[in-house]
């Protein structure tokens, strides 16, 4: 367990289906938190919740459209109905636009505003109403997304958090900005560790801060493949060695015997 992190807490994590949200949810689950896995895709939320359960943690999936106030309110009500309390919220609002500024459509900009800014507004409002004390950690779009429209949305999110922090001091709210888009839990670990710090008792009294997290380069395509697939694509690996690594000694002997018979 990470030093300074309290156990037996309830945390709501958004966009848990993939990327940063999934990595963060898994980490909290391994640290004995009750994790509310919120995602618009209930199948993905259920999959992440099941992964947490397999790791020995406790989790429930919740289908929620975080851009709709009714859904957000219902999600908070469900958390209190099941657990009776909520320690904090981790909102992963890291959606980005890959379009150049002079080519981005109004629809794409509206979607970016909804996924990041509108959802942050709704979740902060619900947090202010429901939490008597606790934390709110916001994961922003990555620094690598540097088109003007993305910068504008990120800037608005930062200013909203600053304004919230001044008015609602009973909730400590902090921001985390990754250097790049999500990759996998191993390579995204520095961001997860930072989020976990802001959710821990070690960060009591710390609010209104933004930490930029430099993440290591994601694995190359070859490195992300299974070892046997890597070997198959590597011409320097002999086929016999590959078969031995996949099948084991006994199976290798059977293969050799079959070749002699053939």
For residue 85, being part of any structural domain is answered with: yes
Q: Is 14 exposed, middle or buried (0-12, 13-18, 19+ CB in 10 A)?
A: buried
Instruction: Give the sheet arrangement for strand 134-139, strand by strand.
Output: 58-63, 34-39, 10-14, 88-92, 134-139, 171-178, 210-213
Q: Does the residue 5 lie in any domain? A: no
Same domain for 44 and 115, yes or no, is yes
On whether both 156 and 136 belong to a single domain, the answer is: yes
The two most distant CA atoms of the chain are separated, in Å, by 81
CB neighbours of residue 19 within 10 Å: 20
Average pLDDT, consecutive stretches of 10 residues, N- to C-terminus, the chain (262 residues): 50 96 96 96 97 93 97 96 95 94 95 97 97 95 96 96 94 97 94 96 91 92 56 51 46 45 43
Does residue 231 form part of some domain?
yes
Per-residue model confidence (pLDDT) at position 136: 97
Q: Answer whether residue 4 is part of any domain.
A: no
Question: For the domain that residue 58 is a member of, what is the CATH number?
Answer: 3.40.50.720
Question: What pLDDT is stored for residue 251 in this prediction?
Answer: 45
Regarding whether 177 and 54 lie in a shared domain, the answer is: yes
Q: Under DSSP, is residue 64 helix (H, G, I), strand (E, B) or coil?
A: coil
192 in the same domain as 230: no
Same domain, 237 and 207: no
Q: Say what the pLDDT of residue 227 is.
A: 59
Q: What is the pLDDT of residue 256?
A: 47
Domain-located, residue 1: no
Residues 201 and 77 in one domain: yes
DSSP per residue over 65-115, as a string? -TTSHHHHHHHHHHHHHHHS---EEEEE------S-TTT--HHHHHHHIII
Query: Both 119 and 242 in a single domain?
Result: no
One domain for residues 18 and 102: yes
Query: Are both 80 and 184 inside the same structural domain?
Result: yes
pLDDT score of 218: 87
Residue 3 lies in a domain: no
192 and 255 share a domain?
A: no
Q: Is residue 193 located within the same domain as residue 250?
A: no
Q: Which of 194, 213, 232 is the last residue of a domain?
A: 213
Pair 132, 242 in one domain: no
Question: What's the pLDDT at 224?
Answer: 54
Count of domains for the chain: 2
The two counts, helices (H) then strands (E), for the chain are 9, 7
Domain that holds residue 239: 222-261
Residue 256 lies in a domain: yes
Domain-embedded: residue 93: yes
């Amino acid at each position: 367990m990470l030093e300074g992190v309290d156990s037996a807490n309830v945390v709501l994590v958004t966009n848990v289906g993939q990327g940063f949200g999934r990595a963060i949810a898994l980490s909290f689950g391994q640290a004995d938190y009750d994790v509310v896995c919120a995602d618009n895709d209930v199948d993905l939320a259920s999959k992440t919740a099941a992964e947490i359960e397999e790791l020995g943690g406790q989790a429930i999936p919740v289908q929620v459209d975080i851009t709709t106030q009714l859904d957000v309110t219902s999600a908070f009500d469900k958390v209190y109905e099941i657990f009776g309390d909520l320690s904090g919220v981790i909102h992963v609002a890291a959606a980005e636009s890959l379009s150049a500024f002079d080519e981005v459509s109004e629809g794409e900009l509206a979607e970016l505003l909804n996924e990041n800014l509108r959802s942050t507004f709704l979740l902060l409002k619900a947090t202010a109403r429901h939490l008597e004390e606790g934390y709110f950690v916001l994961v922003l779009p990555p620094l690598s997304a540097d088109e003007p429209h993305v910068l504008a949305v990120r800037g608005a999110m930062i200013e909203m958090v600053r304004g919230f922090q001044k008015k609602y001091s009973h909730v400590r709210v902090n921001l985390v900005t990754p250097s790049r888009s999500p990759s996998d839990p191993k390579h995204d670990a520095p961001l997860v560790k930072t989020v976990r710090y802001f959710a821990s008792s070690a960060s009591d009294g710390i609010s209104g801060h933004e930490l930029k997290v430099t993440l290591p380069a994601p694995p190359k395509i070859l490195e992300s493949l299974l070892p046997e697939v890597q070997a198959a694509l590597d011409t320097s690996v002999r086929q016999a060695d590959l078969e031995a690594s996949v099948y084991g000694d006994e199976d290798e002997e059977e293969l050799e015997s079959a070749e002699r018979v053939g």
